[in-house]
Amino acid sequence: MSDTQQKTIYLKDYTVPEFLISHTTLHFNLSADDTVVRSKLSIQRNPACKKASPNLTLMGEDLELISIAIDGQELSSEDYTLNEQTLTITQSADEFILEISNRINPVSNTALSGLYESKKMLCTQCEAEGFRRITWYLDRPDVMSVFDVTMEADINLYPVLLSNGNRADSGTLDNNKHWVSWQDPFPKPSYLFALVAGDLACLTDSFTTCSNQHVKLEVYVEEHDLDKTQHAMQSLKNAMRWDEEAFGREYDLDVYMIVAVSHFNMGAMENKGLNVFNTKYVLASEKTATDTDFENIEAVIGHEYFHNWSGNRVTCRDWFQLSLKEGFTVFRDQQFTAHQTSNAVKRIKDVNMLRTHQFAEDAGPLSHPIRPDSFVEINNFYTLTIYEKGAEVVRMLHTLLGNAGFRKGCDLYFERHDGQAVTTDDFVKALEDANDTDFTQFKNWYKQAGTPVVDVSTEYNANEKTYTLTFEQHCPVTPGQATKDNFLIPISIGLLDESGQEIPLGDGQTTVVLALTDSEQRFTFDNINAKPTPSILRSFSAPIQLNHALPIAQKIHLFQHDSDTFNRWEAGQNTLSQLIFDSVEAIQNKQTLPSLPDALIEAFRSILQQPLNDLAYQALLLSLPSKAYLAEQMIVIDIDALYQAHHAVKKALSAALSPLWLSNYNAYHQVDAGITAQDIAQRSFKNLCLDYLMAQQDAATVTLCTAQFDAAQNMTDQIAALSQLNHTESPQSAPYFDAFYQQWQTEDLVIDKWFALQACSEKSNALDDVKRLLQHPDFDMKTPNRVRSVISTFAMANPLHFNAADGSGYAFIADNIIALDAINPQVAARLANSLSRWKKLDTQRQQLVKQQLSRIQSQTPLSKDVLEIVTRSLAA
Ligand code: B3K
Ligand code: ZN
């Protein structure tokens, strides 16, 4: 491990670049195991930089140098210094042309960063620091250059040659070769560079922008996947229209291309004009993709498209500003999905995810602010905090300014900073300036990590007819931040009367937003005629932990009547959580389990007897809180008791309402339903009914599952039935898994589901099964989707067996982190996150996890990616 590999980079050390690159010309002579790159860079000293250093230092990794020339003069080895990660050229003039020629080997690039091979195609991934694995460069986001790219390759192996921008020219060469050139007129940082070469089929379409510009749309996939591209194309068109309507943002090139690749470290990448996507977020047919897959595809296509403005036209000054583009773009894609589907459902899903996973991250050793102060490996900071909490912070700004004020601020931001690399402060400043407001205190959300805790108490004064809420805020200690300043927390609130009606709160409004700024603060409402039921933190208006002890009767009152769809759901979840935790306590104390409150059964019954209009929302309303979410609420996770309690409550609800679950299942089970919003909503509710019925594990319900599996005409129903059979110990389930494999063995994305289901099975021998799956001919450690479907699913979605008391789950994951690190450090580091939350476990398990973390830490060689995660995890 060399020093450079462990170096911590600090935000406070940021300095402007000494040199800029106005123009970048690249020539690629492509071949899978020997690609030659020639670059020609127009370099100038940066007038904004005070230093006048005689050295130009470029970044480069795993490159073989062929030649360097300045202004046409070839350099000799005395004129430059070559290190593992840098190339330093001395005696540089103020302005010059630098030409470099180097060689790379895409096939050996299993890290999937830079230029690599996926199946038989060549593609790139440059964010964050992959461009330096293609050629030496000023590989930092504040160096923005215009790019001209020419690719030369075998015409049979690589008939399609793509790069950023607009197609410029093409031609044929001797020896079966051809070439294509591309020009991107928009200056961009190197992380947005992309190239694709392959034998690809293409779905084409077009889009006319709001100012009547004609844009070609192209989705590239392997030939056999062409029939699964319609939904991606439609999603793209929906996103383009929505961004014009909601944010006034128009597309700016002649063509927008999406390429689906099988080997990809994450979901997708927003390269200018040429998005590269994981196949998982492009390919969909009803037969092979679930309703959730369809929704995710539209969201990710939207997300990458929205980056064209929030990320590409206006980019980040440095990687500490990552949430500038990611938090904002997630906020934009969330608004888009809410608009396309259901506001209520989208908000609940987002908050569920945030509270289950981001809150956990923020409460553990890897906690960091949405604008971090330091990092070792930037790829470790593409986190739920940067993305999801970052989006919540933007959402609070939206709440505080209102939709029109927020839009005015965004317009100013885009206009002011178009073509620039900027900071989160610049973003907030634009919102402040456009609205003549001051967000100084609000900016603590960018600097301080941790989930703020807000305690609420209430008091009704019958004589004065006033209702007073007292809020107290504090934020737990996080690594490197012992004390915190108060946050500005927008708290949206409403009050319900006894009949469940909203009480007007001045100005005739029934929902008001209170701004909590102090550590303790009171708010009083006048003219309240009787003691109300408060609905606090409507729409989850801030990413906080709200503590408010409400009697169960009042919770159920909210569950029945709250007009805020989020808080209505929340009230039900609170009731159910309390019931499950009471059951956990009873199990731990070997007492009889508490029975279900009648009021809860009646509330469920009335919904089941008279279904709501939005069945997708209804499905969420009647779902139990997930075990993962509940585990996070426990001070010390008792996983076995939690599983038992969760199952017991589900079984009791199942038994209490069993005829209604069955009649609703039958009413909404429609084998040949399509994929309209109504069909999707019915399916989610119907499959929830099946889930409750299956809690009895009776023969009749098993028959329902197998019948649903056999008759299924879409993946949602097929996988829902199979996942019900997944946990049963009886040998009955095996033939269904075999049949599923036989049916889908040529569809990689479906086989990923097959692997993932088995990896999260609750069956007693699940770990042995998972180990066997690693020997399956379809398992491949070099394919991130496969690794995630088996190993990551076991680590993240099978808490029962991952946390086995003998430590076998932890040891298995550690073995695989070590094996994977040699192949793909980014994916290995992601997996290592699963070992970071040991503080939540009992002391025996804590020791077992720490042993594994130390074992990983002592490996040599070890990537800085994994080393950073295990070191921070152990430092807690
Ligand atoms: N910007 C990319 C993520 C790149 C991750 C690099 N390790 C995708 C996205 O957020 O849109
Ligand atoms: Zn993004």
Q: Are 865 and 377 a contacting pair, CB within 8 Å? A: yes
Q: What's the token pair of residue 49?
A: 């930089």
Ligand nearest to the CA of 329: 2
Catalytic residue among 18, 222, 304, 326: 304
DSSP-derived 3-state class of residue 550: coil
Label the pairing between strands 489-496 and 533-536.
antiparallel
Pick from 188, 325, 326 the residue to mutate for probing ligand 1's pocket: most ligand atoms within 8 Å of its CB.
Answer: 326
Over residues 371-420, the pLDDT tens digits come to: 999 999 999 999 999 999 999 999 999 999 999 999 999 999 999 999 99
- Non-local (6+) Cβ contacts of 467 within 8 A are 458, 459, 460, 461, 495, 524, 525, 528, 531, 532, 534
Q: Is the CB of residue 397 below 6 angstroms from any atom belonging to ligand 1?
A: no
- Per the DSSP assignment, residues forming a β-bridge with 68 are 100
- Non-local (6+) Cβ contacts of 169 within 8 A are 180, 181
Q: Is the CB of residue 391 below 6 angstroms from any atom belonging to ligand 1?
A: no
Q: Is the CB of residue 432 below 6 angstroms from any atom belonging to ligand 1?
A: no
- Non-local (6+) Cβ contacts of 735 within 8 A are none
At 5 the pLDDT is 57
Q: Are 277 and 267 a contacting pair, CB within 8 Å? A: yes
Separation between Cα atoms, residue 189 and residue 489, nearest integer Å: 35
Separation between Cα atoms, residue 384 and residue 350, nearest integer Å: 11
- pTM above threshold 0.85: yes
Which residue's alpha carbon is at the smallest distance from atom 5 of ligand 1? 127
Which residue's alpha carbon is at the smallest distance from atom 9 of ligand 1? 269
609 burial (CB, 10 Å; 0-12 / 13-18 / 19+) is: exposed
Q: Which amino acid is at 216?
A: K
Is the model's pLDDT at 1 over the cut of 50?
Answer: no
Which residue's alpha carbon is at the smallest distance from atom 4 of ligand 1? 127
Is the model's pLDDT at 757 over the cut of 90?
Answer: yes
Distance 325 CA to ligand 2 centre (A): 7
- Non-local (6+) Cβ contacts of 17 within 8 A are 46, 49, 138, 140, 142, 143
Q: Is the CB of residue 129 below 6 angstroms from any atom belonging to ligand 1?
A: no
Q: Give the largest Cα separation in the chain, rounded.
A: 95
Q: Are 479 and 367 a contacting pair, CB within 8 Å? A: yes
Closest CA to 38 of 83, 8, 11, 68: 68
Sign of dihedral through CA atoms 312, 318, 324, 329? positive
Distance 756 CA to ligand 2 centre (A): 25
Atom index in ligand 1 nearest the CA of residue 128 equals 6
Q: Is the CB of residue 382 below 6 angstroms from any atom belonging to ligand 1?
A: yes
Cα distances (Å, whole numbers) of residue 596 to 575, 578, 593, 638, 652: 10, 11, 9, 22, 7
Separation between Cα atoms, residue 37 and residue 663, nearest integer Å: 66
Atom index in ligand 1 nearest the CA of residue 266 equals 5
Q: Is the CB of residue 304 below 6 angstroms from any atom belonging to ligand 1?
A: yes
Distance 449 CA to ligand 1 centre (A): 22
Distance 11 CA to ligand 1 centre (A): 20
Cα distance from N-terminal residue to C-terminal residue, the chain: 23
Over residues 450-508, the pLDDT tens digits come to: 999 999 999 999 999 999 999 999 999 999 999 999 999 999 999 999 999 999 998 88
Atom index in ligand 1 nearest the CA of residue 265 equals 7
Which residue's alpha carbon is at the smallest distance from atom 7 of ligand 1? 379
Q: Is the CB of residue 269 below 6 angstroms from any atom belonging to ligand 1?
A: yes
Q: Are 198 and 236 a contacting pair, CB within 8 Å? A: no
DSSP character at residue 400: H
Is the model's pLDDT at 340 over the cut of 60?
Answer: yes
Q: Is the CB of residue 326 below 6 angstroms from any atom belonging to ligand 1?
A: yes
Pick from 113, 127, 331 the residue to mutate for probing ligand 1's pocket: most ligand atoms within 8 Å of its CB.
Answer: 127
Over residues 593-647, the pLDDT tens digits come to: 999 999 999 999 999 999 999 999 999 999 999 999 999 999 999 999 999 999 9
Q: Are 445 and 390 a contacting pair, CB within 8 Å? A: no
Is the model's pLDDT at 3 over the cut of 50?
Answer: no
Which residue's alpha carbon is at the smallest distance from atom 2 of ligand 1? 269
Is the model's pLDDT at 4 over the cut of 70?
Answer: no
Is the model's pLDDT at 43 over the cut of 60?
Answer: yes
Distance 280 CA to ligand 2 centre (A): 16
Average pLDDT of the chain, as a whole number: 97
The predicted model gives 843-868 an average pLDDT of 98
- Non-local (6+) Cβ contacts of 446 within 8 A are 323, 369, 370, 371, 393, 424, 428
Q: Is the CB of residue 587 below 6 angstroms from any atom belonging to ligand 1?
A: no
Q: Is the CB of residue 386 below 6 angstroms from any atom belonging to ligand 1?
A: no
CA 240 to chain centre: 21
Separation between Cα atoms, residue 818 and residue 832, nearest integer Å: 9
The predicted model gives 52-63 an average pLDDT of 93
Separation between Cα atoms, residue 238 and residue 294, nearest integer Å: 14
Instruction: Give the DSSP H/E element, type plus range, for residue 435.
Output: helix 424-435
Separation between Cα atoms, residue 834 and residue 791, nearest integer Å: 11
Over residues 110-167, the pLDDT tens digits come to: 999 999 999 999 999 999 999 999 999 999 999 999 999 999 999 999 999 999 999 9
Distance 710 CA to ligand 2 centre (A): 39
More confident residue, 722 or 6: 722
Distance 306 CA to ligand 2 centre (A): 9
Q: Are 44 and 20 a contacting pair, CB within 8 Å? A: yes
Which residue's alpha carbon is at the smallest distance from atom 3 of ligand 1? 269
Separation between Cα atoms, residue 861 and residue 499, nearest integer Å: 67
Ligand nearest to the CA of 270: 1
Q: Which amino acid is at 425?
A: D
523 burial (CB, 10 Å; 0-12 / 13-18 / 19+) is: middle
Q: Is the CB of residue 379 below 6 angstroms from any atom belonging to ligand 1?
A: yes
Pick from 113, 126, 270 the residue to mutate for probing ligand 1's pocket: most ligand atoms within 8 Å of its CB.
Answer: 270
Separation between Cα atoms, residue 685 and residue 782, nearest integer Å: 38
498 an active-site residue? no
**Full strand arrangement of the beta sheet holding 166-172:** 73-74, 64-70, 95-104, 35-45, 19-29, 145-154, 177-188, 166-172
